Amino acid sequence: MTIPPASVRLFRLAVHLWLIVFLVVRIPVGAYLWVDPVSPTLPGNGFFSWATDAFDTWLPGEAVYVAVPLLLALAVRNLFRPARWYVGLPVWVLYTGLMHRAWLAGSGGQQLMGILLFWSIFIDERSLGPGSSFRHASSVLGVWAVRLQLLLVYAAAAAHKATGTAWWDGTAVGIVATDATYHLGGLAHLPWLCRAITWLLFAFMALFPVAVWWRPARRIALAAGLVFHTATAVFLDIPEMGTAFLVAYALWLDADEAAHFLRPFAQLRTVMK
Amino acid sequence: MDSDASTARTPRWQRWIFIAALAHTLVLAAYVLPEAWVPVRARAWSQAYARPLWHQQWRLFAPDPRMTSAWVEVGLSDSAWRPLDAGFADDPAMHRMAGSIARYVEDELDRGLPTPSPAIMQAMRAMVPDIVRDAPHVRFRLVRDRAVDPHHPERRERTITYLDEAP
């Protein structure tokens, strides 16, 4: 089993692009999220509070005025510069701190990105050539932790749905579509389509963790996931959730597939030079 | 994964790294899978391991989607009401924040609490600083549209609960 350096490059690029967009679109409401947060303070996280709740432990609340621009700057740096653990660590600490400070606006996508950023500390695509250095080993660990994390998410989501009734009898998407919280009003008038989507989604989540281990099935699973997560990003008001999943897809791509997606960025870099 | 001339093949000894990642994922699985599927002791160990750094839960619309669509409204001086996030146009983060508050309020009332907890009341007030600034006593209410038949979820019954702060 191999780890294509191109897919790792694409992953790192996608993670930090996601982070930049996530921060920029939140700055207009940053006062409510981070400065004078609406979300009640979380109860601490024991020994690891220094890492996961920096703003309520060793950093004063006002530090968000520095933290957000710093996090943006580090994310931009990581788009162009090689991976360094001592850059990845503060990125994860600051991101997690901000996420917890605005936990009422949180989502599974933000949680997933926190995990991806944690393992990004370990990953360096330059170390993946032949050899057996410590850095090589830590990169392999990080890549496999992310790959398996993605499969776990789908498996857990399918397992929880399997314990209910609405996903079996096909009513789940219809219930969501008629919920005023989401913008799926049009779908609600097509009950047969709601039923079909319910079962397709259920099957997708249950089969994805199995399908990715064979190339033809993997391509179909990733393409189906691309459609599904793009749809949730557009229609479910949680754009960061669908896109966070797509970021994690990068590490399941083959070298040629990853190179294909990297081409526009390589061209952009050439133009900028 | 497939072999490719441009990719690096993982040495045999590094299969142990894959096994370590797999073991990590299995412990996380004990943390995120349905409670009934996981032995009690494994669940306890997984919580101690996963919660500090890798907390996650994947129960969106599961086991079943909520049958109620709920939102909190704030009372205006002219006896009109507006949703908590009305002042934020279509900002997804604030929209989600208002949705989370409504779900907390709903859950707390369903658990038999007479009013939302002080922390959630404070969050509701923090969502509408423009109104709180002008009126010392702000009124809130929870609006719920409940689907009574999952096969016809478009038919919903509305209930309104007024959320007075405990004296």
- Partners of B142 in the β-ladder: B72, B161
What pLDDT shows up at residue A50?
84
Task: Please classify residue A261 by burial: count the beta carbons closer than 10 Å to its beta carbon, then call 0-12 exposed, 13-18 middle and 19+ buried.
Answer: middle
Residue B142 lies in a domain: yes
Residues B36 and B81 in one domain: no
What pLDDT shows up at residue A132?
66
Residues B83 and B41 in one domain: no
What pLDDT shows up at residue A235?
83
Range of the domain at A48: 5-272
pTM confidence score: 0.93
pLDDT of A66 higher than 50? yes
What pLDDT shows up at residue B6?
42
Range of the domain at B21: 2-55
CA distance A195 to B153: 12
Task: Please classify residue A193 by burial: count the beta carbons closer than 10 Å to its beta carbon, then call 0-12 exposed, 13-18 middle and 19+ buried.
Answer: middle
For residue A134, which residues of chain B lie inside 8 Å, CB to CB? Answer: none
ipTM above 0.90, yes or no: yes
pLDDT of B81 higher than 70? yes
Residue B6 lies in a domain: yes
pLDDT per position as a tens digit, A15-30: 999 999 999 999 999 9
For the residues of B67-108, what is the DSSP string, one character each?
A: SEEEEEEEE-TTS-EEETTGGGTT-HHHHHHHHHHHHHHHHH
- What are the start-end ranges of the E strands in chain A? 2-3
Contact B101, B123 (CB under 8 A): yes
- Of the ranges A124-128, A230-234, A245-249, A252-256, which one carries the lowest mean pLDDT score? A124-128
Number of domains in chain B: 2
Q: Pick the residue of A140, A183, A197 with the most B CBs within 10 A to test the interface with B by mutation.
A: A140
Using pLDDT thresholds of 50, 70 and 90, give the confidence band for residue B2.
very low
Residue B26 lies in a domain: yes
Residues B47 and B19 in one domain: yes
Q: Please, what is the end-to-end C-alpha distance for chain A in angstroms?
A: 36
Q: Does B42 touch chain A (CB under 8 A)?
A: no
Residue B151 lies in a domain: yes
For residue A145, which residues of chain B lie inside 8 Å, CB to CB? Answer: 21, 24-25
Number of domains in chain A: 1
CA distance A240 to B61: 17
CA distance B93 to A229: 18
Give the mean pLDDT of B34-59.
95
Task: Name which of A40, A46, A111 is nearest B52 (Cβ-Cβ).
Answer: A46
Task: Name which of A5, A111, A256 is nearest B8 (Cβ-Cβ).
Answer: A5
Share the mean pLDDT of chain A: 92
Residue B130 lies in a domain: yes
Residue B115 lies in a domain: yes
B37 contacts A159? CB cut-off 8 A: yes
- Tokens 């580090």 found at: A74
- Of the ranges A5-9, A87-91, A190-194, B89-93, which one carries the lowest mean pLDDT score? B89-93
